Structure 1
Amino acid sequence: MDAKTLRQLSRQLVRQLGMLDNHCGSMALTPVQAHTLIELEHRAATVNEMAHRLNVDKSNASRTLAILLNQGLVQSVPNPLDKRSQIFELTTPGRDKLTALHQQLNTQVDNWLDQMDTDEIDRLGASLKRYTKSMQATSRQEGYEIRQLNPLDNAAVAAVIRRVSAEYGLTADKGYGVADPTLDTMSEVYQHDGSRYWVIEHNNRILGGGGVAPLAGEDKICELQKMYFLPELRGRGLARKLAVTALRFAREQGYQGCYLETTANLTEAIALYQSLGFVKISHPMGNTGHDACEVRMLKTF
């Protein structure tokens, strides 16, 4: 699916959900007012906090809260942490109205889901969660660039790999990737057909990288290699974005699957690979030379 198609589907969804109407369901509430009540159901908020939660500007949040306050659906109390601001919370009429709204909209969505089988609903839920996470991650990635490795990056990439390896106790004497003799000349290694390595750069600093190359001893299978990221890079979704870049490249090269080896103490990495569709396998594949990596995973295309 391309961006144009997804945008078209999103527009249809917004219209079907009634998000362009002045009323949410049959209630005398605009969509932004309904969303505001829902947020206050979970936790009271200041104007600034509400603007952040709804991803709207402060004036929009302030105006919406003022309308709901006049309608008696919310009330304000002094903020104990900042006497200059107010905290907004639901009133009893506000909770009653929100309960009725939930019942009405849940019935509507249940009727839609009745058109779908259980496995379709599961896939829809997983896809919507992934799509939402992707949108949230994009805002945290501004100023970070993923680009191909070049010879000038060799020393910086090697330093990242050694630093992260030391952080997790992946020492050279145990046969981990840090022991590779090509560690300081990686740009030469990834010049070959079917191979590529990418780095993540921010403010002219290399903060991480990862790549793919043919898996020795296997046909049409590549290996995801040397995925290392400094602590300051983590939590931005960039490791996933780089891995997706690598997997797309692998498909374009005609590979039928991607293999990787890692170790059990890299729990965040394993969770990332599983979210990308990698599954654990019991036996090693090919000839990686990393006999200390006891976790083997494979994704087929």
Structure 2
Amino acid sequence: MTDDNRPTNHQGSELRTVSRHIVRQLGMLNSACGDLPLSPVQAHALIEISHGAISIKKLAQILNIDKSNASRAVSHLVEKRFAHTKSNPRDSRSLLAHLTPQGRKLLQKLDHQQNIIFNEILSQLSPSETQQIETAMTLYHKAIHRSRLQQEYQLRVITPEDNAPMAEVIRTVSAEYGLTSDKGYSVADPTLDILSQQYQARDACYWVIEKDGELLGGGGIAPLVITTKVKPTAIPDRVCELQKMYFSQALRGKGFAKRLAYLALDFARELGFSSCYLETTAELSEAVKLYESIGFKHLDSHLGDTGHDACEMPMLLKL
């Protein structure tokens, strides 16, 4: 298990190995890009400068390298007359790197060289295989980007000290979307202020996300519990429920909702649940899109009465 209770898997190790081999085989560890007078870092810098004047700080952010490394790359390009620098009119303490005509000619050679390399690689694949790789690499790139956005945050299991701040997050988000406590929404649950006690069982868990000691969101999973009888065939065998997924505005757009949902579903699979159920509302349109993207399917009716009668959208995912 990892710190957030998500099982480690063999696929992660295989992906690291493949990524490492790709970096090597594409020559990213070499001192030069083929027969061109550029290191891989300088080549990437040249490409970004070609899009328009750029500061060293911005270049470092785009290339995901430290500022001193970006500064050295630009200095080498200037020495070779592939770029030149001017004072930043918006900040006299910084410089903007510009591409020279010589640099643009070199960039054309670089582009031609890379086209040859990748055409040779893609000639080993069918069009459908190429499309599969493009799709997978796009997903991989997005996952890397989200992981960078999440680096300063902590995802962990809830503690009693988290009860009050997590209840406040749920109330604040509910008010933001007009989910009032006088209706059948989670904000009306009598256990809202004691969430940590509600997820003590072995087959239940609630996770929270914090940054610098401030709780910003959370979500949990537990066996489905209903308060009225239904036909035995109405509820799948061993079904759990994804519950109380709420995120403050400061946490949104960083991929945590999908990460927490995957964590909860992995937890459920490990415990032998066959399906995961949830109830939501059209008012939470972002959440609905998330659940659909994960694979939840809309149901025609609720699986009994969970007490959340105002949540008109029941959904189910087979695990």
Q: What's 1:225 paired with? A: 243
Match of 1:198 among 207, 223, 234: 207
Q: How big is the shift at 1:93? A: 2.9
Superposed displacement of residue 119, structure 1: 4.7
Cα distance change on mapping 1:84 and 1:186 into 2, 3 Å: closer
Do the aligned partners of 2:236 and 2:275 also contact (CA within 8 Å) in 1? no
Instruction: Say if 1:122 and 1:282 are closer, same or farther in 2 by CA, change over 3 A.
Output: farther
User: After the TM superposition, which residues 212-251 of structure 1 pair with which residues of structure 2 at under 5 Å, given as runs?
Assistant: 212-216=221-225, 217-251=235-269
1:153–1:72 Cα change, 3 Å: closer
Tell me which of 56, 60, 66 is aligned to 2:75. 66
The alpha-carbon distance between structure 1 residues 246 and 31, as it changes in their structure 2 partners (threshold 3 A), is same
Matching residue's letter, 2:242: L
Give the structure 2 partner of residue 266 of structure 1.
Answer: 284
Deviations along 1:252-291, one digit per CA (max 9) or x if unpaired, are 011233233322332333343344x224425245234433
- Taking the aligned partners of 1:172 and 1:88, their CA distance within structure 2 comes to 56
Summarize the Cα distance change of 1:196–1:119 in structure 2 as closer, same or farther, 3 Å threshold: farther
Q: Distance in 2 between matches of 1:159 and 1:235?
A: 20
How far apart are residue 236 of structure 1 and its match?
A: 3.4
Could you say if the C-alpha distance between residues 157 and 58 of structure 1 is closer, same or farther in structure 2, counting changes exceeding 3 Å? closer
**Cα deviation 1:14-52 (Å, max 9, x = unaligned):** 111111122224433211111011111223212222222
Aligned twin of 2:6 = none
Computed over aligned residues only, the root mean square deviation of the Cα atoms, in angstroms, reads 2.6
How far off its partner does 1:118 sit? 4.6
- Which structure has more relative contact order (CA 8 Å, sep 6+)? It is 2
Aligned length in residues: 300
* Match status 1:86 vs 2:103: no
Unmatched 5+ stretches in structure 2: 1-9, 226-234
User: Runs of 5+ in structure 1 lacking a partner?
Assistant: none
**Residue of structure 2 equivalent to 1:57:** 66
- d(CA) in 2 for partners of 1:101 and 1:121? 22
Quick one: distance in 1 between partners of 2:56 and 2:210?
Answer: 36
Letter of the structure 2 residue corresponding to residue 278 of structure 1: G
- Tell me by how many angstroms 1:155 deviates: 2.8
When residues 110 and 172 of structure 1 are mapped into structure 2, their CA distance, relative to the original with a 3 A threshold, is: farther
Report the TM-score when normalising by structure 1.
0.87
Residue of structure 2 equivalent to 1:174: 183
1:113 corresponds to 2:131: no
Aligned: 1:290 with 2:299 = no
From the superposition, tell whether residues 295 and 123 of structure 1 become closer, same or farther in structure 2 (CA, over 3 Å). farther
* Distance (whole Å) between structure 2 residues aligned to residue 117 and residue 300 of structure 1: 32
Cα offset, 1:105, TM superposition: 1.4
Is the 2:299–2:316 contact (alpha carbons within 8 Å) kept by the matching residues of 1? no
* Identity rate, percent: 48
1:12 to 21, 34, 51: 21
1:218–1:286 Cα contact (<8 Å) kept? no
**Deviation, structure 1 residue 2:** 4.6
Letter of the 1:290 counterpart: H
Q: Give the secondary-structure state (helix, strand or coil) at the position aligned to 1:146.
A: strand
Q: Using the TM superposition, give the Cα deviation of residue 172 of structure 1 relative to its aligned residue in structure 2, in angstroms.
A: 2.6
Q: Which amino acid letter does the alignment assign opposite residue 300 of structure 2?
A: H
Aligned equivalents of 1:198 and 1:280: distance in 2? 24
